[in-house]
Amino acid sequence: MSGQSLCIRTFAEVIRGRMNKKAQIKNFDTEKKLFQSDAEAKRKNNEIDLSQVYAFYKLLLDAVVYIALGNGEEGIPDINPSMTSQLKNGEWEINQKIKEIAQRKEAKKIISGYFEANLIPNIPNSVRPSVLDDIDTLVRDSSDIKRRKRDSLKQAYQQRKSDALYLAEVYLLALCNGTNKKDDNQSQPKTAAKKKKSDDPFEKLDTIDALIRDLPAPKKIDPPAQPLKEEQPYISELYAAYGDKEGIADFCESHLAQFDEYQEDRNERRIDYFAADSIRRGVSELYSGKYANQFNVLKDETFAGVNNTARKSFPNGYERMLNVMEQAVIIQVNQYILSRSPHWISNRIKKGVCHFLVNDNKLKWVKR
């Protein structure tokens, strides 16, 4: 990111790879002056994949023109895949009509409203802080931004009164002041300079890290209503842990009705399990299965990080399980290559891997 100027292309590419693949977009009702509710957007199936170039760049441009379009204003260009592809590749500047709308007095409020409805809710909470940090870095590293404006944006970032408003302000600067089209001399460097860059191993590492960070998220798997057969080992061990704490030797599903705490805990553990299962399935599909072994690497890393905690003495199996889960979320799993991507590692995933280790008989909550 270092040295890149702020423009729609650099702004967009900081965020695009971290967006929800299943995003509900809320259209704006020009008569009611309101965005659709979540229920309305879902009912009308306004679902798109915001990690895709066309979908995300269209969202950014729609944020500028949606009010003008609703008012029937003429001269606004059609936002099509060709336009968005050229913007992304640095082959085209922002259309003058769009830029003119972005320079209007009310533009920041309009864009902020659109971002509040359609951008912020579709940036996963787990990656939003890093997205904002990277936007702040982009602003700080852009030498073509005047110092006073950079200081103003730094203050807005630090105060963080509204994520949507901050991103709208940066985006407006990217649109109105940024040069999106790449310079020919930059896009076609001299052979010697190109060779020097390619020979730098740290540059290559940065490139690899950036590519991994931009990997689209694996397909999310929601727990089915009834536990699957493959869930039985770790769920049985959970029941053993609950029973160990309550002094019920044969604790089973029927006991959950008596204990709200364990009913909630079991449901949360299933969400964790399927978060990890999304990784297990996802790595098998990456690059024709080339990274299929990475789930085993993640399990090995996790076991190495929690095994000592699991061996300690606890008053009961439930306390052992809770302590292991607390340890799981703080360990580093750096040997797992995809840990560099916010989509492929999270606290839920780490905890879910522990249930896979239970299924593998590597972890037990109750010492028998």
Residues 271-313 have pLDDT tens digits of: 999 999 999 999 888 766 677 899 999 999 999 999 999 999 9
Residue 212 has pLDDT above 70, yes or no: no
- Proportion of the chain above pLDDT 90, given as a percent: 55
C-alpha span between 262 and 239 (Å, rounded): 9
Counts for the chain of helices (H) and strands (E), in that order: 17, 4
Residue 192 has pLDDT above 50, yes or no: no
User: pLDDT-derived band of residue 30, with 50, 70 and 90 as boundaries?
Assistant: confident
pLDDT for the residue 107: 94
pLDDT for the residue 194: 43
Average pLDDT (317-339) is: 94
C-alpha span between 4 and 144 (Å, rounded): 10
* pLDDT tens, residue by residue, 169-188: 999 999 988 788 887 554 44
pLDDT for the residue 301: 96
Sequence-ordered list of residues with C-beta below 8 angstroms from that of 11, at least 6 positions apart, any chain: 60, 135, 138, 170, 171, 174, 178
Token representation of residue 74:
């003429």
Mean pLDDT, rounded, of the chain: 87
Range from 71-85, 211-225, 245-259 carrying the lowest mean pLDDT: 211-225
pLDDT for the residue 193: 42
* Whole-prediction pTM: 0.51
pLDDT for the residue 41: 80
pLDDT for the residue 188: 45
C-alpha span between 317 and 314 (Å, rounded): 7
Residue 220 has pLDDT above 50, yes or no: yes
Average pLDDT (321-332) is: 96
pLDDT for the residue 359: 97
Phi, psi of 86 (to 5 degrees): -70, -35
C-alpha span between 255 and 52 (Å, rounded): 46
Residue 198 has pLDDT above 60, yes or no: no
Looking at 162-227, list the stretches that DSSP marks H as alpha helix, in order from N- to C-terminal side.
163-177, 184-187, 191-198, 201-213
Residue 348 has pLDDT above 90, yes or no: yes
Residue 134 has pLDDT above 80, yes or no: yes
pLDDT for the residue 287: 66
